[in-house]
């Protein structure tokens, strides 16, 4: 009886030590594979975990093929719309251009790109984008497609929503409007959707993005995803 009693505490200690080791190993794994720091408070939503895009094949405004592989290794802001847009699209691109200029002045755009995706590929050909996109910034890349089915992975992965009234397009094939959301996206260097930015409403009741807010949000997201 005494021999059994003397082994019992040792056995208990061994069990406890084993459990502690297991729990410690599990905790380390959780800390390594899960970011426990709170997501930054941005003007929009941080995507947790970052969402991969589907397979896609687009054309940039130079006529080159642009696939998900072109997203790897760099952060990317993504804006979308159409070149015939009278207000929202150019206003957003001007804001994005100012943001890029600010970051370039700080020498911090080596791993950052900016994309403009058209939701009106019928009118926005490669040539049309080539005449439009550089007007806002030399480093912007315009994206279109001549095969809409090849763009589904890109559009669905980001959650892009747009609508063209087919009756209006038939009546005015050169001047129809395209209804679309007002959103900016941020892709991380793995080509995943990291954040979705939404515009503020200014004192005139107009929705628009703020250069200062985008700058602070971008900085916060870079630090968070590090």
38 CB neighbour count, 10 Å cutoff: 8
The predicted pLDDT at position 36 comes to 54
Closest by CA to 158, choosing from 183, 177, 129, is 183
Per-residue pLDDT of the chain (226 residues; tens, 9 = 90+): 444 444 444 444 333 334 333 333 333 333 334 455 789 999 999 999 999 999 999 999 999 999 999 999 999 999 999 999 999 999 999 999 999 999 999 998 899 999 999 999 999 999 999 999 999 999 999 999 999 999 999 999 999 989 999 999 999 988 899 999 999 999 999 999 999 999 988 877 888 999 999 999 999 999 998 7
Helix (H, G, I), strand (E, B) or coil at 171: helix
The pTM for the full model equals 0.82
Look at domain 44-224 and name its CATH class. Answer: alpha beta
**How high is the pLDDT of residue 52?**
97
User: What is the number of helices (H) and of strands (E) in the chain?
Assistant: 6, 12
Cα of 98 vs its chain's centroid, Å: 18
In whole angstroms, give the CA distance from residue 50 to residue 129. 29
Hey, where are the domains in the chain?
1-34, 44-224
Is residue 119 within 8 A of residue 96, CB to CB? The reply is no
Strand partners, 52: 192
């Amino acid at each position: 009886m005494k021999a059994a009693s003397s082994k019992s505490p040792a056995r208990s200690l061994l069990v406890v030590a084993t459990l502690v080791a297991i729990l410690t190993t599990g905790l380390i794994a959780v800390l390594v594979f899960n970011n426990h720091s709170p997501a930054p408070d941005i003007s929009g939503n941080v995507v947790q975990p970052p969402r991969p895009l589907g397979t896609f094949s687009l054309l940039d405004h130079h006529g080159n093929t642009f696939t998900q592989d072109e997203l790897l290794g760099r952060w990317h802001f993504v804006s979308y719309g159409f070149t015939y847009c009278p207000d929202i699209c150019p206003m957003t691109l001007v804001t994005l251009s100012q943001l890029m200029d600010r970051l370039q002045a700080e020498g911090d755009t080596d791993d950052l790109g900016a994309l403009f995706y058209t939701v009106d590929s019928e009118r926005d050909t490669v040539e049309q984008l080539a005449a439009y996109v550089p007007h806002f910034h030399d480093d912007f890349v315009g994206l279109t497609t001549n095969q809409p089915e090849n763009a589904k992975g890109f559009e669905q992965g980001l959650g892009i929503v747009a609508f063209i009234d087919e009756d209006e397009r038939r009546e005015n094939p050169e001047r129809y409007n395209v209804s679309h959301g007002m959103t900016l996206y941020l892709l991380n260097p793995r080509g995943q959707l990291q954040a979705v930015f939404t515009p503020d409403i200014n004192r005139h009741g107009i929705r628009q993005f703020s250069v200062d807010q985008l700058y602070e949000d971008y900085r916060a997201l870079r630090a968070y995803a590090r």
